[in-house]
Amino acid sequence: MLFITNRVFNEGQTPIVNDQLVLPRSVSFNLQNNQPEQSIYFCHQDDQNRYTEIGGDRFLSELKNSKADEILLYIHGFSNLPEGVFQKAAELQRLFDQKQSGHICVVPMIWPCDNDFGIIKDYFDDQMAADLSGVAFARAFQKFLKWRETPDDKIPCTKRINILAHSMGNRVLRSTFAAIVQYFLPQGLPLVFRNIFMVAADIVNEALESGQEGQYIPVAARNVVVYYAADDFAMRASKVANVGTIASRRLGHTGPEHMDRVSKNVYAVDCDNFNNRYDSPTGHGYFTTDENGNAGLVFNHLWQCLKTGRVPMRSPNSQSSILDRTLLSL
């Protein structure tokens, strides 16, 4: 599995000899060091706890030459170490292959969650790591945009690119897009992505409005789909934890605070009817399988988005809907 990371490696940064990167090389994660690197590493998972850094050019070429029609970049949530991220990415890949083998290629983007004991300490450490990872991942996206415009073989890559960000991964997404505009594209982001799926997003629920920290997310995609649940207990804890800093309800708890203030390509999908059945007792990780291990409602909904480029809603002009089986049968 291909992946991108800014976690610290035990082997240090990529060696350079005579202005050339010395690649490929075997690497391993330093799990005790959650300092966000500003260097970005393009890698391949060979097996459990076995990884190879292959470099950006080879990484992008392998993506372009893969049989997949679409790429799904997966940005994980807080308190997830690499092997756990690979397991979730492999689960997503398995579910996609059950729908249509080879159509989707899942690529994890691994940022440095904490390995300390104690969930509260981890939470605030991970908030800082998520914010600081934005610059590194902005560099990765900028490299992709440059490569897409002028590939070495002069043949453009026509694969559609999508993003799935879960929980605090949406904080990484928000800071990444802000860094792209600040450092690389001051005129604003182009429409690069087909779908951006924001699941249980641990950012404020005004974030997607103009002038807010996540304002560049809707600009960069055809569709932005926000999945939320009022009884997501992780979102309730996040709101309490952030009182005194940003005392606001979370996007993954309520959906956008003001639907009339977000772009017309932002869709809010209420998952309150099933999230706790899928992920008991917190109701936070409900985006893959149901309680029986089969593809769940959120997964099937985002699959329809990927296949059609349109977001299933009860009416063509609707931006909000409750997710149930009837919605998927429309």
Q: What is the pLDDT of residues 47-74, one digit of tens each?
A: 999 999 999 999 999 998 999 999 999 9
What is the predicted pLDDT for the residue at 113? 87
- Beta-ladder partners of 109: 4, 75
Residue 18: inside a domain: no
8 A C-beta contact, residue 108 and residue 76: yes
User: Domain with 184 in it: what CATH number?
Assistant: 3.40.50
Residue 286: inside a domain: yes
Residue 54: inside a domain: no
| pLDDT, the chain, mean | 91
Which stretches of 155-293 are DSSP H helices?
A: 169-183, 216-219, 233-241, 251-254, 275-278
- The count of domains in the chain is 1
- pLDDT of residue 154 exceeding 80: no
Residue 55: inside a domain: no
What is the predicted pLDDT for the residue at 150? 67
Residue 287: inside a domain: yes
What is the predicted pLDDT for the residue at 147? 78
The total of other beta-carbon atoms located within 10 Å of residue 305's CB is 19
What is the predicted pLDDT for the residue at 236? 58
H/E run at residue 98: helix 82-99
Tell me the pLDDT band of 143, cut-offs 50, 70 and 90: confident
Range(s) of the domain holding residue 78? 64-328
Both tokens of 269, joined, read 């999908």
